[in-house]
Amino acid sequence: MTEFNPSWRTTAAGIGAILVAVGGAVQAMFDNDPVTQPEWGAVIAACIAGFGLILARDNKVSSEQAGATPPADTPAP
C-alpha cells in the first residue's frame, strides 16, 4: 500500500469512513423496517470526507515521500 500512497494512515481512515457510511445506509435500507430510512445527506458528507482523507497526506510523511515537486528557484531578496 505504501507504493500507491505513502500516507497509508489517512488513506485507511478515508476508506473506513466511506465503508461505515455506506454500510449504515445499506443497513437502514434493508432492515425490514419501513420507518428507518438512510440519511443521504450524512452519507454523502461522510463519503466526501472519506475521499478527502484518501487524498490527504500524513503528518509523518515528508513532501518528498509524498511526491511533491520542489519549488522553483527564486532569487534572493
> Which pLDDT score is estimated for 23?
97
Residue showing cell 497526506: 57
Mean pLDDT of 29-51: 94
Of 45, 53, 74, the closest CA to residue 9 belongs to 53
Question: Three cell numbers at 57?
Answer: 497526506
Higher-scoring residue by pLDDT: 68, 42: 42
> Which pLDDT score is estimated for 7?
79
Of 12-21, 44-53, 66-75, which range is least confident?
66-75
> Which pLDDT score is estimated for 55?
85
Please answer whether residues 53 and 10 qualify as being in contact, where contact means their C-beta atoms are separated by less than 8 angstroms.
Answer: yes
Flag whether pLDDT at 42 surpasses 80.
yes
Mean pLDDT of 26-40: 93
Using CA atoms, how far residue 72 sits from 4, 9, 42, 76, in Å, is 26, 30, 42, 12
